[in-house]
Amino acid sequence: MIGNKKAGTLFTVIMSLGLAAGCGNSANDPAKPKDSNDQVTLRMVESMTSPKRTELLKGMLAEFEKQNPNIKVELVSPPYDQADNKIRTMLLAKQKLDVIEARDLNVAEYVNNGYLLQLDDYLAGWKDAGTFSSIPKSVGSVSNKLYFIANGLYERQMFYRKDWFDEKGLKAPTTYQEMVDTAKKITDPSKNRYGFSFRGGAGSNGITDNIILAYNAINVNLEDSMFLKNGKTIYSTPEAQQAMEKYKELYKEASPPDSINWGFQEQVQAFTSGVTGILLQDPDVIQSLQEKMKEGTWATAPMPVGPSGKALIAAGGAGWGIASYSTHKDEAWKLIAFLSSPEENTVFTKNYGLVPIHSSAANDEFFKSGPYKTLLDMTNKPDTFLNYKPPFQYAGAGQWGNVSTESQQAFLFDKTTTADLLKTWDAYWVDQKSKIKK
Protein backbone atom coordinates (compact mmCIF):
# COMPACT_ATOMS: atom_id res chain seq x y z
CA MET A 1 0.00 0.00 0.00
CA ILE A 2 2.89 2.28 0.68
CA GLY A 3 5.04 3.88 -1.83
CA ASN A 4 5.39 4.76 -5.37
CA LYS A 5 7.54 2.58 -7.50
CA LYS A 6 9.61 5.30 -9.08
CA ALA A 7 10.08 7.12 -5.85
CA GLY A 8 10.91 3.80 -4.23
CA THR A 9 13.79 3.10 -6.58
CA LEU A 10 14.99 6.66 -6.30
CA PHE A 11 15.14 6.40 -2.55
CA THR A 12 16.90 3.08 -2.75
CA VAL A 13 19.55 4.79 -4.81
CA ILE A 14 19.77 7.63 -2.33
CA MET A 15 20.06 5.18 0.49
CA SER A 16 22.80 3.11 -1.10
CA LEU A 17 24.70 6.28 -1.91
CA GLY A 18 24.32 7.39 1.66
CA LEU A 19 25.65 4.09 2.89
CA ALA A 20 28.53 4.02 0.46
CA ALA A 21 29.67 7.49 1.35
CA GLY A 22 29.07 6.95 5.03
CA CYS A 23 27.10 10.16 5.12
CA GLY A 24 23.55 10.94 6.12
CA ASN A 25 24.57 11.86 9.61
CA SER A 26 22.08 14.61 10.18
CA ALA A 27 22.48 14.20 13.91
CA ASN A 28 26.23 14.59 13.87
CA ASP A 29 26.38 18.30 14.47
CA PRO A 30 29.79 19.33 15.74
CA ALA A 31 29.68 18.93 19.48
CA LYS A 32 29.11 22.17 21.26
CA PRO A 33 31.46 23.14 24.07
CA LYS A 34 29.96 21.87 27.26
CA ASP A 35 28.50 24.22 29.74
CA SER A 36 26.89 22.94 32.89
CA ASN A 37 24.05 25.41 32.53
CA ASP A 38 23.20 24.17 29.07
CA GLN A 39 19.83 22.50 28.83
CA VAL A 40 20.32 19.02 27.40
CA THR A 41 17.59 16.87 25.92
CA LEU A 42 18.16 13.14 25.72
CA ARG A 43 16.13 10.89 23.49
CA MET A 44 15.61 7.37 24.68
CA VAL A 45 13.87 4.48 22.94
CA GLU A 46 12.47 1.35 24.55
CA SER A 47 11.98 -2.01 22.88
CA MET A 48 10.15 -4.31 25.31
CA THR A 49 7.23 -1.92 25.46
CA SER A 50 4.04 -2.51 27.35
CA PRO A 51 1.72 0.28 28.49
CA LYS A 52 2.39 -0.51 32.14
CA ARG A 53 6.13 -0.65 31.74
CA THR A 54 6.10 2.68 29.91
CA GLU A 55 4.25 4.22 32.85
CA LEU A 56 6.83 2.82 35.23
CA LEU A 57 9.72 4.12 33.15
CA LYS A 58 8.17 7.55 32.88
CA GLY A 59 7.96 7.74 36.65
CA MET A 60 11.63 6.90 36.92
CA LEU A 61 12.56 9.44 34.26
CA ALA A 62 10.62 12.15 36.07
CA GLU A 63 12.65 11.42 39.20
CA PHE A 64 15.87 11.63 37.16
CA GLU A 65 14.84 14.99 35.70
CA LYS A 66 14.14 16.27 39.18
CA GLN A 67 17.62 15.32 40.31
CA ASN A 68 19.18 16.75 37.15
CA PRO A 69 17.30 19.92 36.29
CA ASN A 70 19.46 20.61 33.24
CA ILE A 71 18.59 17.30 31.55
CA LYS A 72 15.29 16.48 29.93
CA VAL A 73 14.48 13.00 28.66
CA GLU A 74 12.13 12.21 25.80
CA LEU A 75 10.99 8.61 25.81
CA VAL A 76 9.99 6.95 22.53
CA SER A 77 7.81 3.88 23.04
CA PRO A 78 7.09 1.98 19.84
CA PRO A 79 4.74 -1.02 20.15
CA TYR A 80 6.60 -4.19 21.18
CA ASP A 81 5.71 -5.92 17.92
CA GLN A 82 7.42 -3.32 15.76
CA ALA A 83 9.94 -1.87 18.19
CA ASP A 84 13.16 -3.52 17.09
CA ASN A 85 12.40 -2.95 13.44
CA LYS A 86 11.81 0.70 14.17
CA ILE A 87 14.90 1.14 16.33
CA ARG A 88 16.99 -0.49 13.65
CA THR A 89 15.65 1.93 11.05
CA MET A 90 16.17 4.94 13.31
CA LEU A 91 19.78 3.91 13.86
CA LEU A 92 20.30 3.39 10.14
CA ALA A 93 19.05 6.91 9.47
CA LYS A 94 21.09 8.30 12.36
CA GLN A 95 17.94 9.80 13.78
CA LYS A 96 18.62 11.60 17.04
CA LEU A 97 18.86 8.99 19.78
CA ASP A 98 20.99 8.83 22.89
CA VAL A 99 19.83 5.90 24.98
CA ILE A 100 18.72 2.71 23.24
CA GLU A 101 17.20 -0.42 24.65
CA ALA A 102 19.21 -3.21 23.03
CA ARG A 103 18.40 -6.88 23.45
CA ASP A 104 20.56 -9.94 23.82
CA LEU A 105 19.32 -11.14 20.44
CA ASN A 106 20.14 -8.01 18.45
CA VAL A 107 23.10 -6.47 20.25
CA ALA A 108 25.54 -8.24 17.93
CA GLU A 109 23.79 -6.73 14.92
CA TYR A 110 23.97 -3.25 16.43
CA VAL A 111 27.62 -3.66 17.34
CA ASN A 112 28.53 -5.03 13.90
CA ASN A 113 27.06 -1.93 12.34
CA GLY A 114 28.75 0.40 14.79
CA TYR A 115 25.56 1.73 16.33
CA LEU A 116 26.50 1.25 19.97
CA LEU A 117 29.14 2.82 22.16
CA GLN A 118 31.40 0.54 24.16
CA LEU A 119 30.68 1.10 27.85
CA ASP A 120 33.69 -0.41 29.62
CA ASP A 121 35.25 2.97 30.45
CA TYR A 122 32.03 4.22 31.96
CA LEU A 123 31.62 0.97 33.85
CA ALA A 124 35.05 1.41 35.45
CA GLY A 125 33.96 4.72 36.93
CA TRP A 126 30.52 3.56 38.06
CA LYS A 127 29.87 3.72 41.78
CA ASP A 128 27.59 0.67 41.66
CA ALA A 129 29.95 -1.47 39.59
CA GLY A 130 30.88 -3.45 42.69
CA THR A 131 27.53 -5.16 43.00
CA PHE A 132 26.87 -5.46 39.25
CA SER A 133 26.70 -9.23 38.71
CA SER A 134 28.70 -11.12 36.13
CA ILE A 135 25.67 -12.61 34.34
CA PRO A 136 24.04 -9.31 33.28
CA LYS A 137 27.50 -8.15 32.30
CA SER A 138 27.93 -11.12 30.02
CA VAL A 139 24.39 -10.66 28.57
CA GLY A 140 25.25 -7.09 27.59
CA SER A 141 28.62 -7.94 26.09
CA VAL A 142 29.81 -8.84 22.63
CA SER A 143 33.30 -10.37 22.44
CA ASN A 144 33.84 -9.47 26.09
CA LYS A 145 33.17 -5.79 25.54
CA LEU A 146 30.20 -4.27 27.30
CA TYR A 147 27.56 -2.53 25.18
CA PHE A 148 24.46 -2.37 27.32
CA ILE A 149 23.56 -2.50 31.00
CA ALA A 150 20.71 -4.98 31.34
CA ASN A 151 17.63 -3.63 33.09
CA GLY A 152 16.85 -7.08 34.45
CA LEU A 153 17.30 -10.69 33.49
CA TYR A 154 14.96 -13.41 32.49
CA GLU A 155 15.63 -17.01 33.00
CA ARG A 156 13.32 -19.86 32.19
CA GLN A 157 11.64 -21.78 34.96
CA MET A 158 8.71 -24.13 35.34
CA PHE A 159 5.20 -22.98 36.19
CA TYR A 160 2.64 -25.64 37.03
CA ARG A 161 -0.96 -26.00 38.15
CA LYS A 162 -0.56 -26.78 41.82
CA ASP A 163 -4.26 -27.55 42.28
CA TRP A 164 -4.26 -30.17 39.50
CA PHE A 165 -1.05 -31.71 40.78
CA ASP A 166 -2.38 -31.91 44.34
CA GLU A 167 -5.61 -33.45 43.14
CA LYS A 168 -3.72 -36.31 41.54
CA GLY A 169 -1.00 -36.51 44.16
CA LEU A 170 1.71 -35.48 41.72
CA LYS A 171 4.94 -33.67 42.49
CA ALA A 172 6.65 -31.06 40.35
CA PRO A 173 8.84 -33.00 37.90
CA THR A 174 12.59 -32.53 38.11
CA THR A 175 13.78 -34.21 34.90
CA TYR A 176 12.52 -34.06 31.33
CA GLN A 177 11.60 -37.73 31.62
CA GLU A 178 9.47 -37.02 34.68
CA MET A 179 7.99 -33.96 33.06
CA VAL A 180 6.74 -35.97 30.08
CA ASP A 181 5.33 -38.67 32.35
CA THR A 182 3.61 -36.19 34.65
CA ALA A 183 2.21 -34.23 31.72
CA LYS A 184 0.74 -37.42 30.30
CA LYS A 185 -1.03 -38.14 33.58
CA ILE A 186 -2.76 -34.77 33.53
CA THR A 187 -3.79 -34.96 29.90
CA ASP A 188 -7.47 -35.59 29.31
CA PRO A 189 -8.67 -34.34 25.92
CA SER A 190 -12.31 -35.00 26.77
CA LYS A 191 -12.05 -32.28 29.41
CA ASN A 192 -9.92 -30.13 27.09
CA ARG A 193 -7.10 -30.49 29.56
CA TYR A 194 -3.50 -31.12 28.57
CA GLY A 195 -0.29 -31.64 30.47
CA PHE A 196 2.06 -29.32 28.71
CA SER A 197 1.80 -25.82 27.26
CA PHE A 198 3.65 -26.62 24.10
CA ARG A 199 4.94 -24.03 21.69
CA GLY A 200 5.52 -25.31 18.19
CA GLY A 201 5.22 -21.94 16.47
CA ALA A 202 7.45 -18.88 16.67
CA GLY A 203 10.16 -19.38 19.27
CA SER A 204 9.87 -23.17 19.42
CA ASN A 205 13.63 -23.41 19.38
CA GLY A 206 13.50 -22.14 22.96
CA ILE A 207 12.24 -25.58 23.92
CA THR A 208 14.04 -27.80 21.39
CA ASP A 209 17.44 -26.26 21.96
CA ASN A 210 16.97 -26.36 25.73
CA ILE A 211 16.11 -30.03 25.81
CA ILE A 212 18.96 -30.93 23.45
CA LEU A 213 21.39 -28.91 25.57
CA ALA A 214 20.19 -30.60 28.74
CA TYR A 215 20.67 -34.03 27.17
CA ASN A 216 24.18 -33.15 25.98
CA ALA A 217 24.88 -31.57 29.38
CA ILE A 218 28.56 -31.32 30.30
CA ASN A 219 29.80 -31.96 26.78
CA VAL A 220 28.54 -28.60 25.60
CA ASN A 221 30.94 -25.71 25.09
CA LEU A 222 29.26 -23.19 27.37
CA GLU A 223 30.78 -20.20 25.60
CA ASP A 224 29.76 -21.37 22.14
CA SER A 225 26.63 -23.26 22.99
CA MET A 226 25.64 -24.62 19.59
CA PHE A 227 28.81 -26.69 19.72
CA LEU A 228 30.30 -29.35 21.91
CA LYS A 229 33.69 -29.15 23.50
CA ASN A 230 34.98 -31.39 20.69
CA GLY A 231 33.88 -28.85 18.07
CA LYS A 232 30.91 -30.78 16.64
CA THR A 233 27.42 -29.33 16.87
CA ILE A 234 25.10 -30.25 19.70
CA TYR A 235 22.76 -31.80 17.12
CA SER A 236 25.25 -34.45 16.04
CA THR A 237 25.04 -36.68 19.10
CA PRO A 238 22.92 -39.72 20.01
CA GLU A 239 21.81 -37.68 23.04
CA ALA A 240 20.22 -35.17 20.70
CA GLN A 241 18.29 -38.04 19.09
CA GLN A 242 16.96 -39.12 22.48
CA ALA A 243 16.06 -35.57 23.34
CA MET A 244 14.07 -35.03 20.15
CA GLU A 245 12.22 -38.30 20.58
CA LYS A 246 11.22 -37.24 24.08
CA TYR A 247 10.16 -33.95 22.60
CA LYS A 248 7.91 -35.63 20.06
CA GLU A 249 6.37 -37.78 22.78
CA LEU A 250 5.69 -34.63 24.78
CA TYR A 251 3.81 -33.10 21.87
CA LYS A 252 1.92 -36.18 20.74
CA GLU A 253 0.82 -37.49 24.09
CA ALA A 254 0.66 -34.57 26.47
CA SER A 255 0.07 -31.35 24.53
CA PRO A 256 -2.87 -29.78 22.70
CA PRO A 257 -2.70 -30.73 19.00
CA ASP A 258 -3.29 -27.09 18.10
CA SER A 259 -0.13 -26.04 19.93
CA ILE A 260 2.04 -27.03 16.98
CA ASN A 261 1.53 -23.52 15.69
CA TRP A 262 1.34 -21.62 18.97
CA GLY A 263 3.65 -18.78 19.84
CA PHE A 264 4.39 -17.08 23.17
CA GLN A 265 0.95 -15.59 23.59
CA GLU A 266 -1.12 -18.71 22.93
CA GLN A 267 1.19 -20.76 25.09
CA VAL A 268 0.64 -18.47 28.04
CA GLN A 269 -3.08 -17.99 27.33
CA ALA A 270 -3.59 -21.76 27.36
CA PHE A 271 -2.00 -21.93 30.80
CA THR A 272 -3.89 -18.98 32.26
CA SER A 273 -7.23 -20.17 30.91
CA GLY A 274 -6.78 -23.61 32.44
CA VAL A 275 -6.19 -25.73 29.37
CA THR A 276 -2.63 -26.77 30.16
CA GLY A 277 -0.81 -27.78 33.34
CA ILE A 278 2.90 -27.09 32.82
CA LEU A 279 4.51 -24.02 31.32
CA LEU A 280 8.19 -23.29 30.83
CA GLN A 281 8.63 -19.53 30.70
CA ASP A 282 10.51 -16.42 31.74
CA PRO A 283 9.63 -14.52 34.93
CA ASP A 284 8.12 -11.57 33.08
CA VAL A 285 5.10 -13.82 32.60
CA ILE A 286 4.46 -13.77 36.38
CA GLN A 287 2.52 -10.52 36.24
CA SER A 288 0.14 -11.98 33.70
CA LEU A 289 -0.39 -15.10 35.79
CA GLN A 290 -1.04 -13.05 38.92
CA GLU A 291 -3.58 -10.96 37.10
CA LYS A 292 -5.54 -13.77 35.50
CA MET A 293 -5.28 -16.76 37.83
CA LYS A 294 -6.37 -17.36 41.39
CA GLU A 295 -3.70 -17.42 44.03
CA GLY A 296 -2.66 -20.89 45.06
CA THR A 297 -3.65 -22.54 41.79
CA TRP A 298 -0.14 -22.30 40.41
CA ALA A 299 3.43 -22.61 41.64
CA THR A 300 6.96 -22.62 40.28
CA ALA A 301 9.76 -25.16 40.10
CA PRO A 302 13.28 -25.23 38.64
CA MET A 303 13.81 -26.20 35.01
CA PRO A 304 13.87 -29.93 34.39
CA VAL A 305 17.29 -31.54 34.00
CA GLY A 306 18.57 -34.08 31.49
CA PRO A 307 19.45 -37.76 32.10
CA SER A 308 22.81 -36.83 33.60
CA GLY A 309 21.12 -34.68 36.22
CA LYS A 310 22.22 -31.38 34.74
CA ALA A 311 20.54 -28.67 32.69
CA LEU A 312 21.89 -25.72 30.78
CA ILE A 313 20.44 -22.37 31.62
CA ALA A 314 20.84 -19.10 29.80
CA ALA A 315 19.96 -15.74 31.13
CA GLY A 316 18.53 -13.29 28.66
CA GLY A 317 17.82 -9.64 28.90
CA ALA A 318 17.45 -6.25 27.39
CA GLY A 319 19.01 -3.07 28.61
CA TRP A 320 20.28 0.41 28.06
CA GLY A 321 23.07 1.28 25.66
CA ILE A 322 24.32 4.54 24.17
CA ALA A 323 24.11 5.40 20.48
CA SER A 324 27.60 5.71 19.02
CA TYR A 325 26.64 9.00 17.36
CA SER A 326 24.99 10.49 20.45
CA THR A 327 26.06 14.06 21.10
CA HIS A 328 25.42 13.81 24.82
CA LYS A 329 27.20 10.62 25.76
CA ASP A 330 28.08 11.67 29.31
CA GLU A 331 24.55 12.71 30.12
CA ALA A 332 23.28 9.49 28.53
CA TRP A 333 25.54 7.49 30.81
CA LYS A 334 24.33 9.50 33.80
CA LEU A 335 20.80 8.42 32.95
CA ILE A 336 21.79 4.78 32.49
CA ALA A 337 23.70 4.80 35.77
CA PHE A 338 20.63 6.23 37.47
CA LEU A 339 18.26 3.64 36.00
CA SER A 340 20.70 0.85 36.79
CA SER A 341 21.36 1.80 40.40
CA PRO A 342 20.44 -0.95 42.88
CA GLU A 343 17.45 1.05 44.18
CA GLU A 344 15.91 1.91 40.80
CA ASN A 345 16.70 -1.48 39.31
CA THR A 346 15.04 -3.27 42.21
CA VAL A 347 11.87 -1.24 41.75
CA PHE A 348 11.92 -1.86 38.01
CA THR A 349 12.52 -5.60 38.23
CA LYS A 350 9.92 -6.06 40.97
CA ASN A 351 7.28 -4.31 38.96
CA TYR A 352 8.06 -5.87 35.66
CA GLY A 353 8.96 -9.38 36.77
CA LEU A 354 12.68 -9.72 36.17
CA VAL A 355 15.72 -10.87 38.07
CA PRO A 356 17.67 -7.85 39.39
CA ILE A 357 21.15 -7.13 38.06
CA HIS A 358 22.83 -6.35 41.36
CA SER A 359 24.01 -9.09 43.69
CA SER A 360 22.87 -6.99 46.63
CA ALA A 361 19.23 -7.44 45.61
CA ALA A 362 19.36 -11.13 46.43
CA ASN A 363 18.84 -10.13 50.05
CA ASP A 364 15.52 -8.54 49.25
CA GLU A 365 12.64 -10.49 50.81
CA PHE A 366 10.67 -10.07 47.61
CA PHE A 367 13.04 -12.20 45.56
CA LYS A 368 13.58 -14.72 48.33
CA SER A 369 9.96 -15.76 48.34
CA GLY A 370 7.12 -16.47 45.98
CA PRO A 371 7.58 -17.24 42.31
CA TYR A 372 11.05 -15.68 42.15
CA LYS A 373 12.57 -17.97 44.75
CA THR A 374 13.00 -20.81 42.25
CA LEU A 375 15.22 -18.63 40.10
CA LEU A 376 17.41 -17.81 43.06
CA ASP A 377 17.58 -21.51 43.92
CA MET A 378 18.72 -22.25 40.40
CA THR A 379 21.38 -19.58 40.55
CA ASN A 380 22.62 -21.04 43.83
CA LYS A 381 23.20 -24.44 42.21
CA PRO A 382 25.61 -23.58 39.41
CA ASP A 383 26.80 -27.18 39.20
CA THR A 384 23.37 -28.49 38.32
CA PHE A 385 22.23 -25.53 36.27
CA LEU A 386 25.16 -24.65 34.07
CA ASN A 387 25.08 -21.18 32.64
CA TYR A 388 25.71 -20.93 28.91
CA LYS A 389 25.94 -18.08 26.42
CA PRO A 390 23.41 -18.19 23.57
CA PRO A 391 24.89 -18.01 20.06
CA PHE A 392 23.81 -14.47 19.23
CA GLN A 393 27.19 -13.61 17.75
CA TYR A 394 26.39 -15.61 14.60
CA ALA A 395 24.81 -13.83 11.66
CA GLY A 396 22.37 -16.71 11.28
CA ALA A 397 21.09 -16.57 14.87
CA GLY A 398 18.17 -14.37 13.83
CA GLN A 399 17.11 -16.72 11.06
CA TRP A 400 17.67 -19.79 13.22
CA GLY A 401 14.37 -19.50 15.03
CA ASN A 402 12.56 -19.78 11.73
CA VAL A 403 14.61 -22.61 10.29
CA SER A 404 14.26 -24.51 13.51
CA THR A 405 10.53 -23.91 13.86
CA GLU A 406 9.62 -24.98 10.36
CA SER A 407 11.67 -28.15 10.30
CA GLN A 408 10.53 -29.03 13.80
CA GLN A 409 6.88 -28.71 12.70
CA ALA A 410 7.52 -31.01 9.75
CA PHE A 411 9.12 -33.43 12.21
CA LEU A 412 6.09 -33.39 14.50
CA PHE A 413 3.86 -34.04 11.48
CA ASP A 414 6.04 -37.11 10.82
CA LYS A 415 7.21 -35.70 7.53
CA THR A 416 10.88 -36.00 8.48
CA THR A 417 12.74 -38.47 10.65
CA THR A 418 14.65 -37.57 13.77
CA ALA A 419 17.93 -38.29 12.02
CA ASP A 420 17.09 -36.08 9.02
CA LEU A 421 15.91 -33.27 11.24
CA LEU A 422 19.11 -33.28 13.23
CA LYS A 423 21.16 -33.49 10.06
CA THR A 424 19.54 -30.30 8.77
CA TRP A 425 20.21 -28.52 12.04
CA ASP A 426 23.76 -29.81 12.21
CA ALA A 427 24.42 -28.57 8.68
CA TYR A 428 22.98 -25.14 9.47
CA TRP A 429 25.38 -24.55 12.34
CA VAL A 430 28.39 -26.07 10.64
CA ASP A 431 27.72 -23.58 7.86
CA GLN A 432 27.40 -20.71 10.35
CA LYS A 433 30.69 -21.66 11.93
CA SER A 434 32.48 -21.73 8.58
CA LYS A 435 31.18 -18.24 7.79
CA ILE A 436 32.41 -16.72 11.02
CA LYS A 437 35.91 -18.11 10.54
CA LYS A 438 36.38 -16.16 7.33
Identify residues 164-193 at the interface with other proteins (CB under 8 A).
Answer: 192
Q: Residue 280 to residues 90, 261, 268, 304: CA-CA distances in angstroms?
A: 34, 17, 9, 9
* Binding residue for other proteins, selected from 200, 206, 277, 306, defined by CB under 8 A: 200
* Binding residue for other proteins, selected from 226, 244, 270, 339, defined by CB under 8 A: 270
Nearer to other proteins, 132 or 271 (CB): 271
Residue 436 as a binder of other proteins (CB under 8 A): the answer is: no
Residue 257 as a binder of other proteins (CB under 8 A): the answer is: yes
User: What is 103-130 written as a DSSP string?
Assistant: ETTTHHHHHHTT-B---HHHHHT-TTGG
Q: Which residues contact 418 (CB under 8 A, 6 or more apart)?
A: 241, 244, 245, 248, 411
Pairing mode of beta strands 276-281, 157-161? antiparallel
Residue 1 as a binder of other proteins (CB under 8 A): the answer is: yes
Residue 12 as a binder of other proteins (CB under 8 A): the answer is: yes
Residue 241 as a binder of other proteins (CB under 8 A): the answer is: no
The window from 128-136, 180-188, 235-243, 395-403 that contacts other proteins (CB under 8 A) reads 395-403
Residue 413 as a binder of other proteins (CB under 8 A): the answer is: yes
* Binding residue for other proteins, selected from 32, 34, 229, 292, defined by CB under 8 A: 292
**Rounded to whole angstroms, how far apart are CA atoms 138 and 140?**
5
Task: Compute the least distance from the CB of residue 240 to other proteins, in Å.
Answer: 20
* Binding residue for other proteins, selected from 284, 344, 364, 377, defined by CB under 8 A: 284
Strand blocks (E) in 119-189: 141-142, 145-146, 149-155, 157-161
Task: Compute the least distance from the CB of residue 333 to other proteins, in Å.
Answer: 22
Task: Give the 3-state secondary structure of residue 200.
Answer: coil
Cα-based angle 290, 291, 295 (whole degrees, multiple of 5): 45
Closest CA to 235 of 207, 250, 213: 213
Task: Compute the least distance from the CB of residue 199 to other proteins, in Å.
Answer: 11
Task: Compute the least distance from the CB of residue 289 to other proteins, in Å.
Answer: 9
Q: Which of residues 42-71 bind other proteins (CB under 8 A)?
A: 45, 48-52, 55
What is the rounded radius of gyration, in angstroms, for the C-alpha atoms of the chain? 23
